[in-house]
Amino acid sequence: MPTKQSNHGATPPPGRRPAASLPTGRLILSGLTGFGYHGNNPAVLKLGQTFTVDLEVMLDTQRAATSDRIDDTLSYPILEKIARKILEGEPANLLETVAERIAAAILEQPRVVEVTVRVSKRPPLPVSFRRITP
C-alpha cells in the first residue's frame, strides 16, 4: 500500500512544506472495482480477474470549501478515471506495481499533496481469507 507525497512546487526546508501545499482535507474513495490481468499466475493472466482499489487523497480543500466550485477541487470522477485506466490497462506482475502506477498518476493532479492506494484481489485458490492486499 504505497503512500506517496507530491513534489509540486519549490523544495521547502527539511520538514516543512509550502503554505499553499498544506493539506486541509482528504478524499476517500473505497471499493472501486475493475477487471484486469495482473499477477504471475498463468490462469489469471489469460482469464483476468476483478481487482478493488481504495484511495485516500490528501489535498488542499480550503479554496473549494470557500468557493463551493467543483473547479477548485479534484472531482471524484477524475480520480476514478485515473485509477480505472491503470487497473484495467497494462498488466503487471505485482499488485504493488499497479498501486505505484495509480499513486504516481494521481500525484500529477494539481492540489494533491499525498495519496495512499490499496489494491486488492480475491485469492486464486480456495483459502481461509477473503482478499489479498500488499
- Catalytically active residues, by annotation: 121
**3-5/49-59 β-pairing:** unpaired
Cα separation, 59 vs 22, in Å, equals: 7
Cα separation, 87 vs 44, in Å, equals: 14
